[in-house]
Amino acid sequence: MSLTVADPPTAETGGGTPTVASRAREWAGRAPRQVALREKDFGIWQEYTWERTWDLIMDAANGLLALGVEPGQRVSIQSEDRPEWVILDLATVAVRGITVGLYPTNPAAEVEYLLTDSTATIHFAEDQEQVDRALEVDPARLPGLRRILYTEPRGLSSYDDPRLLYWEDFLEMGRSYRRDSPGGVERRMAEALPDDVMTLVYTSGTTGPPKGAMLTNANVDYAMTIINGDTGLRGAQIPGPGDLTLTYLPLCHVAERIFSTWHLVGCGICLNFAESIDTVQSNLREIQPTLFFAVPRIWEKMHASVMIKGGDVTLFKKIWLGFGLRLARVIGREKVANGGNHTPKSWLLNLVGYPLVFRALKERIGLRRCWHAGSGAAPIAPEVLEFFIGIGVPVYEMYGMTENSAVATVNYPGRMKLGTVGEPYPDIGFRIDEETGEIQTKHPAVFLGYWNKPEQTAETFTDDGWLKTGDVGEWVDGTHVRIVDRIKHIIITSGGKNISPSEIENTLKTSPYVKEAMVIGDGRKFLAALIGIELDTVGDWALRQNIPYTTYRDLSEKPEVLELIQKVVNETNEKFARVESIRKFKMIPKELDHEDGELTATQKIKRSAMEDMFGDLVESMYS
Amino acid sequence: MRGRPKLFTSYVAESQLFPTRIQKVLVVVGIIVLVLMPFDLPVISQIPIVRFLGDNIWLRLVNRMLIFTIAALGLNILSGLAGQVSLGHAFFMGSGAYTAVMLGGKGSANLWGWGLPIWIWLPASGVVAALVGIAVAPAAVRVRGLYLGIATLGLVFIGLHLSRVFPEIAGPGALGRKWPRMQFRLWKEEDPLVDFSRDGDWFWFEVSKNQKTYLLLLALTVVAAVVAANIARTRTGRAFSAIRERDVAAEIMGVPEFRYKTMAFAISSFYAGVAGALLAVLAGQVPPESWGLLLSIQFIAILLIGGIGRVSGALMGTFFVVLSPRFIEEVIDWMKEQVDAGGIFSGVFDTLISTGDGDGGLLAISETALGYPLPASALDELVYGLLIVVFLLFEPLGLYGIWMKVRNYWKGWPFSY
């Protein structure tokens, strides 16, 4: 192991810039025996110590050098979360390359777009499925692509594309390169500059093709200092080597990158890779992470599963659990009203509820040891937040976007406000444009621009250099920020009324039966909605009601289900003004899917694609 | 990682016998209580069951129970783990017992016996039984299920026949011959080094022979149970389970059927042999008929009632089957006393038991022949016959299954699953 820098950085080279790779090296030197990564393999959580992790990063980095990766060249990764993702990511940064993350769900067409747009030199495709997608692209369109790495050899033995390279062989290549010409990676690391682009994060692109946001070493460094500083995400509490998190959201998304990779190298926490998105529940139970970040969809699913499982118990447990959940509601309300802190009343109630229900309940959902959880990337239903806070899982909503390295606002422990995304971090440039209501930020973590898209980059900045987030926000009590909607999504009805569809959609989605909702009404007389049911819960409900069904479409068109959804719609309408009420709705006849182009990789509805696809459904509501 | 019981970072951790700290503490406390049970100590003798099991009269029965436990653990490996039905367990026990008496018993003109010490005859009884088991095993590879049951049933009758052919081994007549005493000698010296068969002093304590035997048997049982539990979580144990689920599939998975079935028979018979030797020694004198079908069936009952396939099932089953006749006896005695004394219950009990001629009732205290009224001595057989039926119908996993249900109820808390 070589932890020493061969060529010490000099002032001329501007080297010695802290990068995620150099931070990883520091941890490897400081805590070599500490477990950095954990991955479940053959039913056992295999552990990677910092020493081994750094060794692998060095092997991979030397492998990249052996393959001739020059500074600034792109290494793309299309894989589920696994140690190789993090190792290759850090190795790429170590050799001053640029990591490009692809969603494992990106279909072949998008893979082609992303690989050609980023002109990647090395592509990491996890397994046969991902390799197939990469090989589908005409090699002539990817002249720069030298190698396609893969780590799951199953099914690939008969492939004879010369670009394919097995991960272990790649590491071996790196090892021999390291033996023959040591110090190469160390030199590259010493040459790192603050303005080196370290990653392209492709935005999901609800409109138009994805754009690669360039984040530099300086961006990430600033983001890490802000997020885990004394006035960071968690107030004065800073995570450390004793903390665990579960890594399960796509690592190419900026949120998971922050909460996994950047926390790993920034604070030395231990990453535990979930087997897959479907096993998150059971992996959570095993790992019992101390830090957790989830998108609203996951929180809502967890909440729904508690409700469903809780309804499926024997009488004694039902009474018991019902009592506990009632307590949780009261505690949640009290705490939320008090900024997330206990009031004497909620503290007393918790004293009763914790041993009776909350402890076991939290153990079952895997968040018993969680002292800080976050929700972001989309708005979350307040009821869900209140529930988790009530049972004692401190969930805080936060807000940020790829373009500002997610440095914007956060709900601080003890100062949270329900329905807001919190307060701006102290001393960052944050403003809400008075005219448009758009949120704008300006600080060192704001990105360099979009990869190869100068016009779009220019459009993203105001004349005085502030980043336009595209989100409409408003101040709450002068300190907290509430997100109204994306600017582009605001509906202006034919009556001239401005309506934010997201709020209505999210209220609809609070119901465990509703998975997707899209409110329509731009230039129309009234609002209508397309609603997609949640197959699991509605299916379960139908089973209990003795309603036979065959397919998703069949189920969602049952008159009983329509009635059920009508009830949800009516409840939602009660919460909004008359002009904002949904007069008509239609069921979406299929489950929306990324592959079919209706959803982005982050499961957000692509409105334009939806309007194309279900245009006749929409028209039928207005005729 | 501490405080994360489901986070396993190695297979060793995952297959631990007692994964949690509380379980470890409970096991240690349990063993300490068991060791101290027969001695009338202030705190421990106040624990409800311990109080009377530690009693000298009950202790003899408890000793018998421990021996049965060893034998049941053996059958559990064969039938529970490897899934091979065996009605020949009594035969293997007999093999062990007669090995013990030949090696350890006193010889005479018409009896074979070499008077060797216990450290030879006890292991030898296991080894010989295991060899017999290995000899029988090929049959198990050829026949399966019910047929294997019948084939092994044959063993029991072969055994009875052999005992008549060789009176030099089995002893003459219906009483059987005398087994060696439970004494530890280095060789054939006059005074045993440790004598488990007489009351006496150990260090500064006065210890009765039952207490001494109890401690010896307890140690052997604990060892037997630990070994059995460990077999279940090794490669061998997994191979057994594979064969149990489907021997053809196991063979295809690369589990050599012949080898593992032989191994299962050998291990199971070893347990049976040792238990048989101990049982005969404890009784002192045993007629050859004791190693009959009834004994085999008792072990089937133990496994079915306790829960097949689990060490704890074998433990619970033995406890229940060996001690329940005695409990029933006590209850009947108590009922009789109530009838004699007259009281609130006397009317009820009077209709239940019949004390002699003319007295109506279901249970006859004085009768011994089967029929109506039922002799009280036959009641225990009736009870566990009924229990086998009930368990097979309603709780095929036995007492262990009930325990699992209770445990899962709390494990799933506050949900059901």
Which one-letter DSSP state was computed for residue A205? -
Residue B331 has pLDDT above 90, yes or no: no
Quick one: which of A257, A182, A188 has its CA closest to A17?
A: A188
With cut-offs at 50, 70 and 90, classify the pLDDT of residue B64: very high
Residue A5 has pLDDT above 60, yes or no: no
Strands (E), A297-355: none
For A141-169, write each residue's pLDDT tens digit: 999 999 999 999 999 999 999 999 999 99
Which one-letter DSSP state was computed for residue A599? B
Cβ count near B242 (within 10 Å): 21
Partner B contacted by A34 (CB < 8 A): no
Determine the Cα–Cα distance for residues B151 and A282; give it in Å rounded to an integer. Answer: 47
At B369 the pLDDT is 64
Which one-letter DSSP state was computed for residue B181? P
Classify residue A274 by burial, with Cβ atoms within 10 Å: 0-12, 13-18, 19+: buried
On the CB side of B323, how many CA atoms lie within 13 Å of its CA? 18
When CB atoms are compared, the residue of B7, B415, B417 closest to A286 is B7
Q: Do B414 and A46 touch (CB under 8 A)?
A: no
Quick one: which of B330, B333, B217, B190 has its CA closest to B279?
A: B217
Rg (CA), chain A: 25
At B368 the pLDDT is 61
Residue A9 has pLDDT above 60, yes or no: no
Determine the Cα–Cα distance for residues B166 and B95; give it in Å rounded to an integer. Answer: 13
Partner B contacted by A310 (CB < 8 A): yes
Residue B302 has pLDDT above 60, yes or no: yes
Query: Bridge partners of A397?
Result: A375
When CB atoms are compared, the residue of A38, A47, A364 closest to B415 is A364
Distance from the Cα of B80 to chain A's closest Cα (Å) equals: 25
Average pLDDT score over residue span B300-307: 90
Query: Bridge partners of A584?
Result: A528
Please give the angle made by the CA atoms of A42, A46 and A51, to the nearest 5 degrees: 155
Q: Do B3 and A369 touch (CB under 8 A)?
A: yes
At A410 the pLDDT is 94
Strands (E), A555-602: 582-587
For B4-46, write each residue's pLDDT tens digit: 888 999 888 888 888 888 889 999 999 999 998 888 787 777 7
Average pLDDT score over residue span A174-182: 95
The overall average pLDDT reported for chain A is: 91
H-assigned helices in A141-295: 167-180, 184-191, 217-227, 254-257, 263-267, 280-287
For A283-315, write each residue's pLDDT tens digit: 999 999 999 999 988 998 899 889 888 888 889
Average pLDDT score over residue span A82-104: 96
Residue B343 has pLDDT above 80, yes or no: no
Determine the Cα–Cα distance for residues A34 and A246; give it in Å rounded to an integer. Answer: 17
With cut-offs at 50, 70 and 90, classify the pLDDT of residue A32: very high
Cβ count near B229 (within 10 Å): 16
Percent of residues, chain A, with pLDDT higher than 70: 97
At B177 the pLDDT is 87
Q: Spell out the domains of chain A, with CATH numbers in brackets.
A: 1-24+46-193 (3.40.50.12780), 490-622 (3.30.300.30)
Q: Do B414 and A320 touch (CB under 8 A)?
A: yes
Percent of residues, chain B, with pLDDT higher than 70: 96
Who's near A486: CB < 8 A, 6+ residues apart? A206, A470, A471, A472, A502
At B321 the pLDDT is 87
Handedness of CA A93, A94, A96, A102 (dihedral sign): negative
Domain boundaries, chain B: 21-54, 59-292, 330-411
Residue showing tokens 């590259």: A188
| Joined tokens for residue A11 | 């002032």
Please give the angle made by the CA atoms of A327, A338 and A363, to the nearest 5 degrees: 45
What's the distance, CA B188 to chain centroid? 31
Residue showing tokens 């460094």: A221
Tell me if A528 sits within 8 A of A521, measured CB to CB. yes
On the CB side of B156, how many CA atoms lie within 13 Å of its CA? 19
For B142-176, write each residue's pLDDT tens digit: 888 889 999 999 999 999 999 989 888 888 777 88
With cut-offs at 50, 70 and 90, classify the pLDDT of residue A445: very high
With cut-offs at 50, 70 and 90, classify the pLDDT of residue B320: confident
Which one-letter DSSP state was computed for residue B285? B
Query: Bridge partners of A92?
Result: none
With cut-offs at 50, 70 and 90, classify the pLDDT of residue A15: low
Q: Is the peptide bond before A9 cis (omega within 30 degrees of 0)?
A: no
Query: Bridge partners of A593?
Result: none
What's the distance, CA B159 to chain centroid? 20
Determine the Cα–Cα distance for residues A255 and A210; give it in Å rounded to an integer. Answer: 17
Residue A72 has pLDDT above 90, yes or no: yes
Which one-letter DSSP state was computed for residue B180? P
Please give the angle made by the CA atoms of A481, A486 and A488, to the nearest 5 degrees: 150
For A517-559, write each residue's pLDDT tens digit: 999 988 888 999 999 999 988 998 999 899 999 999 999 999 9
Handedness of CA A551, A555, A557, A559 (dihedral sign): positive
Longest dimension (CA), chain B: 72
Determine the Cα–Cα distance for residues B301 and B295; give it in Å rounded to an integer. Answer: 10
With cut-offs at 50, 70 and 90, classify the pLDDT of residue B379: confident
Task: Count Cβ neighbours within 10 Å for each residue of A313-351 and write b for 16 or more, e otherwise.
Answer: beeebeebbeebbebbeebbbbbbeeebebeeebeebbe
Size of interface A-B (CB pairs under 8 A): 52
At B374 the pLDDT is 74
User: Residue type at A175?
Assistant: R
Which one-letter DSSP state was computed for residue A198? E
When CB atoms are compared, the residue of B9, B14, B414 closest to A317 is B414
Residue B264 has pLDDT above 90, yes or no: yes
At A79 the pLDDT is 95
Task: Count Cβ neighbours within 10 Å for each residue of B146-163 and write b for 16 or more, e otherwise.
Answer: eebbebbbebbeebbebb
Distance from the Cα of A310 to chain B's closest Cα (Å) equals: 6
Q: Do B416 and A313 touch (CB under 8 A)?
A: yes
Chain B residues close to A286, C-beta within 8 Å: 4, 6-8
Partner B contacted by A44 (CB < 8 A): yes
3-state secondary structure of A432: strand
| Joined tokens for residue B281 | 């020694």
Pairing outcome for strands A480-486 and A467-476: antiparallel
Q: Do B9 and A286 touch (CB under 8 A)?
A: no
Residue showing tokens 């909460």: A259
- Searching chain B, which residue's CA lies closest to the CA of residue A307? B415
With cut-offs at 50, 70 and 90, classify the pLDDT of residue B118: very high
Q: Do B414 and A244 touch (CB under 8 A)?
A: no
Partner B contacted by A357 (CB < 8 A): yes
Interface of B with A (CB under 8 A): 1, 3-4, 6-11, 14, 413-417
Q: Do B8 and A309 touch (CB under 8 A)?
A: no
| Joined tokens for residue A116 | 């050609």
Pairing outcome for strands A44-49 and A74-78: unpaired
Residue showing tokens 């990158």: A257
Residue showing tokens 């007669």: B98
Tell me if A36 sits within 8 A of A53, measured CB to CB. yes
Chain B residues close to A44, C-beta within 8 Å: 8-11, 14
Percent of residues, chain A, with pLDDT higher than 90: 76
Q: Do B415 and A317 touch (CB under 8 A)?
A: yes
Tell me if B5 sits within 8 A of A42, measured CB to CB. no
At B416 the pLDDT is 83
Partner B contacted by A340 (CB < 8 A): no
The whole-model pTM stands at 0.86
Strands (E), A316-453: 372-375, 395-399, 409-410, 423-424, 429-432, 438-442, 449-450
CA distances from A567 to A487, A514, A562, A574, B272 (A): 30, 11, 9, 11, 69
At A307 the pLDDT is 87
At A4 the pLDDT is 43
Determine the Cα–Cα distance for residues A291 and A373; give it in Å rounded to an integer. Answer: 6
Q: Do A310 and B415 touch (CB under 8 A)?
A: yes
Chain B residues close to A369, C-beta within 8 Å: 3-4
Handedness of CA B124, B127, B133, B138 (dihedral sign): negative
Residue showing tokens 């109820």: B409
Q: Is the peptide bond before B373 cis (omega within 30 degrees of 0)?
A: yes
The overall average pLDDT reported for chain B is: 87
Residue A408 has pLDDT above 60, yes or no: yes
Tell me if B92 sits within 8 A of B129, measured CB to CB. yes
Distance from the Cα of A44 to chain B's closest Cα (Å) equals: 5
Tell me if A79 sits within 8 A of A133, measured CB to CB. no
Chain A residues close to B6, C-beta within 8 Å: 285-286
At B37 the pLDDT is 86
Tell me if A271 sits within 8 A of A38, measured CB to CB. yes
> Which of the residue ranges A52-61, A199-208, B75-84, B115-124 would you say has the lowest mean pLDDT?
A199-208
Residue B367 has pLDDT above 70, yes or no: no
When CB atoms are compared, the residue of A45, A47, A309 closest to B415 is A309
> Which of the residue ranges B83-87, B186-190, B209-213, B333-337 would you say has the lowest mean pLDDT?
B333-337
When CB atoms are compared, the residue of B11, B14, B415 closest to A313 is B415
On the CB side of A362, how many CA atoms lie within 13 Å of its CA? 26
Chain B residues close to A328, C-beta within 8 Å: none
Which one-letter DSSP state was computed for residue A120? -
